[in-house]
């Protein structure tokens, strides 16, 4: 197995050197200046697979949600990286089978930063263009990955961002301006059609016995108002009303966990003692399923990880994440279903939708609504395709339905972060898309 530790090289305004358990887990990391004054951080782990050269295995990009959630923190240390936050090895890490690239995205998230807050992105397409430039800079540092199959996996808002990223990467490949080889895009518990997701919170909670009729009515009234505002083009106000809908859920359920409805949560919410409801909800979204508070996660990344990576003290992990979320308030409730249709109708890129059945924020019923409305050449054949069981080690881990390059995976006993909650079920959709896992 040829896996030398590669010293950091960088094509950017500044560089960092260091490692986190690099003797056990070969890695590389650095910055790309995607626009003047806008710096994006990436962190690559080379695969541990028993191969002669790591480029024999695909490159997977992992994107966290929020917006403002950090892939290098949550995705890496709490979901699928090689080490957890206590630096214990994770036996189901994706690094065993793939090269995994964690990206702090959009710019301003995690260790990524802007020199002026006016440089933050305001739309999904702006995020995609920054990502395209990030990948161009990455391939300058690692040209050996050009032509290697590339897969983008996005969780929550990361799944929404991944769609426009897929479009922009594909266009650049067609134009010959990037050497990538995009084969697939995966949307994990993704914020694809926010209105659909929000309208299904009440029915899901009522069916699960977590609200009574009065609670359901209050939630649905708030959700329908968010829908009305969106339909009238009042996008900022729709986002504000969406937050009110979340508050109605908290009030009716006495603090249900939006990322796993079976999790027992404390009441009253201790984290709200010094936060208003907007800040609490923003913090929850930015954590994107992390079980650590924003303060604890920030301490871990700034006090433990940053020194190990020798990142400059002027870069404070997470300092601009709240501003990232705020800046995207107008775009927040907008769907990306037209982008999905474009990829299905105009490319051969595999699109995978997977969802944990215990998630509320991006509920499975809400995903089914927009999937059933997709307009693409295989829509009717997909709807008529057989829904099949997923068996792993003689255990039923979920179900899947597929036609041509679109597939949907229902994953059992999993919440918002499926790779962490159900690694066995995760292997099914990884194998389906990449043939590995």
β-pairing verdict for 149-155 and 181-188 = parallel
Among 67, 47, 75, residue whose Cα is nearest residue 59: 47
Q: Rounded to an integer, what distance in angstroms lies between the CA atom of residue 271 and that of residue 242? A: 20
Burial class (CB in 10 A: 0-12, 13-18, 19+), 287: buried
Say whether 180 is catalytic: no
The answer to whether the CB of 91 falls within 8 A of the CB of 427 is: no
Q: Which of 97, 196, 359, 432 is catalytic?
A: 359
Backbone angles phi, psi at 173, to 5 degrees: -65, -45
Token code pair at residue 44:
């690559």
Give the Cα-Cα-Cα angle 101, 356, 81 (nearest 5 degrees).
25
Tell me how far apart the alpha carbons of residues 128 and 167 are, in angstroms, rounded to a whole number: 8
Please pick, among 70, 156, 193, 321, the residue that the annotation labels catalytic.
156
Catalytic residue among 294, 416, 417, 421: 416
359 is catalytic: yes
> Do residues 91 and 131 make contact, with C-beta atoms less than 8 angstroms apart?
no
Contact in structure between 139 and 145 (CB atoms under 8 Å): yes
Q: Output 276-285 pairs: Cβ under 8 A, ≥24 positions apart.
A: 277/243, 277/247, 278/243, 279/322, 281/243, 281/246, 281/247, 282/68, 282/322, 282/325, 282/326, 284/258, 285/65, 285/66, 285/67, 285/68, 285/69, 285/157, 285/325
- 156 part of the active site: yes
Known catalytic residues?
156, 359, 416
């Amino acid at each position: 197995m040829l896996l030398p530790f590669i010293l950091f090289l960088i094509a950017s305004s500044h560089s960092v050197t260091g490692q986190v358990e690099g003797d056990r887990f070969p890695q590389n990391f650095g910055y790309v200046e995607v626009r003047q004054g806008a710096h994006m951080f990436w962190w690559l782990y080379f695969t541990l697979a028993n191969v002669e050269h790591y480029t024999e295995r695909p490159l997977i990009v992992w994107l966290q949600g929020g917006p403002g959630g950090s892939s290098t923190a949550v995705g890496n240390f709490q979901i699928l990286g090689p080490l957890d936050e206590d630096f214990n090895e994770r036996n189901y890490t994706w690094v065993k089978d793939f090269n995994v690239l964690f990206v702090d995205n959009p710019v301003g998230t995690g260790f990524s930063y802007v020199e002026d807050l006016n440089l933050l992105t305001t739309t999904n397409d702006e995020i995609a263009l920054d990502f395209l430039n990030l990948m161009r800079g990455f391939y300058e540092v690692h040209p050996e990955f050009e032509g290697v199959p590339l897969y983008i996996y996005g969780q929550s808002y990361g799944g929404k961002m991944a769609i426009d990223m897929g479009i922009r990467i594909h266009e650049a490949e067609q134009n010959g301006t990037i050497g990538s080889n995009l084969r697939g895009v995966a949307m994990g518990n993704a914020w694809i059609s926010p209105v659909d997701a929000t309208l299904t919170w009440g029915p899901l909670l009522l069916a699960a016995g977590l609200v009574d009729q009065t609670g359901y009515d209050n939630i649905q009234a708030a959700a329908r108002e968010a829908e009305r505002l969106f339909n009238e083009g009042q996008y900022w106000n729709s986002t504000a009303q969406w937050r009110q809908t979340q508050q109605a859920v908290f009030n009716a359920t006495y603090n249900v966990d939006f990322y796993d409805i079976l999790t027992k949560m404390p009441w009253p919410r201790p984290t709200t003692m010094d936060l208003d409801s907007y800040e609490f909800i923003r913090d929850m979204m930015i954590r994107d399923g992390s079980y650590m508070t924003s303060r604890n996660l920030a301490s871990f990344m700034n006090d433990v990880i940053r020194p190990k990576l020798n990142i400059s003290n002027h870069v404070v992990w997470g300092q601009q994440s709240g501003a990232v979320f705020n800046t995207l308030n107008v775009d927040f409730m907008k769907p990306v279903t037209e982008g999905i249709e474009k990829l299905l109708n105009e490319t051969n890129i595999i699109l995978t939708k997977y969802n944990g059945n215990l998630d509320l924020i991006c509920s499975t019923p809400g995903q089914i609504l927009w999937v059933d409305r997709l307009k693409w050449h295989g829509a009717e054949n997909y709807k008529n395709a057989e829904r099949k069981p997923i068996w792993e080690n003689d255990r039923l881990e979920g179900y899947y339905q597929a036609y041509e390059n679109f597939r949907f995976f229902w994953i059992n006993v999993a919440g918002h972060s499926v790779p962490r909650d159900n690694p066995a079920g995760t292997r099914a959709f990884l194998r389906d898309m990449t043939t590995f896992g």
